[in-house]
Amino acid sequence: MKNNSLQTSKTVNTVLTYVFLILGAVIMIFPFVWMILTSFKTVAESNAVDPVVIFPSALRWENFTEAVTSLPFLNLYANTALMIFFRVVCAVLFSSMAGYAFAKLEFKGKNLLFGIVLVQMSLPSQIFIIPQYQMVAKMGLANTIFALVFPGIVSAFGVFFLRQTYMGIPKEIGEAAYLDGCNQWQTFYKVMFPLTGTSVAALTIFTAVFAYSDLMWPLVVNSDLNMMTLSSGLATLRGQFSTNFPVLMAGSLLAMLPMVVLYLIFQKQFIEGIATTGGK
């Protein structure tokens, strides 16, 4: 008898778990579904309230065409991709080198220099923005890809994160390579660096998603529409089509698409990558 009621309460628990999860999933997914549905509607359909029009009467690609003609999307894609590419390369290359040195090598002033890394990590990025902008402006490099990459040339977080990874690699591996006649640089890039694949992937994803989402810096530094990123370009579109929701939704979808597709392909790496870098 007791066993039976235990069984029932277990079933009730399982059902409740599913009910809550499905409810949550619906709330999470609804804005995306609504975005897709709206992007195919006419303005009249999207603004209909009594009753609300849920499905567009036809697949109207015109909204996408209009979004593409009002914003130079090809440039925005290219700018965003180049910014992400250079930021990732810089972050991985420089952070790997420094992370290895801080973890495995002995040198004078190590703690002081690592202190600089920690100070940067604990300050909000906005504190650097005005002087960074003035430097870019003084060099006459506003409205360039370089300007977009600029604050991301070094990544203090990357150094901190990869230092931890290198500290987890046994000392003996490096020593063996050293005894085989490798110098410190060869030990690093032939033996140690290849062992950090998972962490490098995590840092890559973290850097890419962060750069892609960033709004303030691209807005400040690149005011020329052709040199904007997807994020800052969308901010412009918002002002231009304040009530034409189908075009706004089409533009947002176009901006989201590349990252969402990458995410759906590399789900495991994205979730694990962001989860490991997130617990910093």
Q: Which of residues 133-192 bind another protein (CB under 8 A)?
A: 133-135, 137-138, 150-151, 153-154, 156, 159, 183-185, 188
Tokens of 196: 């950090």
Q: Which residues, in sequence order, are CB contacts of 181 under 8 Å at separation 6+?
A: none
For residue 187, report the phi and psi dihedrals to the nearest 5 degrees. Answer: -55, -45
Measured CA to CA, the distance from residue 233 to residue 237 in angstroms comes to: 6
Pick the closer one to another protein by CB: 64 or 270.
270
Measured CA to CA, the distance from residue 104 to residue 178 in angstroms comes to: 12
**Residue-level length of the chain:** 280
Is residue 239 close enough to count as binding another protein by CB under 8 A? yes
Q: C-beta of 59: minimal distance to another protein in Å?
A: 19
Among 1, 59, 124, 170, binds another protein (CB under 8 A): 124
Is residue 252 close enough to count as binding another protein by CB under 8 A? yes
Among 58, 74, 127, 265, binds another protein (CB under 8 A): 127
State the residue for tokens 């990590």: 121
Measured CA to CA, the distance from residue 148 to residue 203 in angstroms comes to: 19
Measured CA to CA, the distance from residue 160 to residue 178 in angstroms comes to: 24
Pick the closer one to another protein by CB: 74 or 137.
137
**Candidate ranges 55-63, 67-75, 128-136, 140-148; the one touching another protein (CB under 8 A):** 128-136
**Candidate ranges 67-75, 165-173, 195-203, 259-267; the one touching another protein (CB under 8 A):** 259-267
Is residue 15 close enough to count as binding another protein by CB under 8 A? no
For residues 82-101, which are near another protein according to CB under 8 A? Answer: 93-95, 97-98, 100-101
Q: Contact letters (x/-) for another protein, 17-56, by CB under 8 A?
A: xx-xx--xx-xxx-xx-xx--x-------xxxx--x----
**Candidate ranges 119-127, 141-149, 165-173, 192-200; the one touching another protein (CB under 8 A):** 119-127
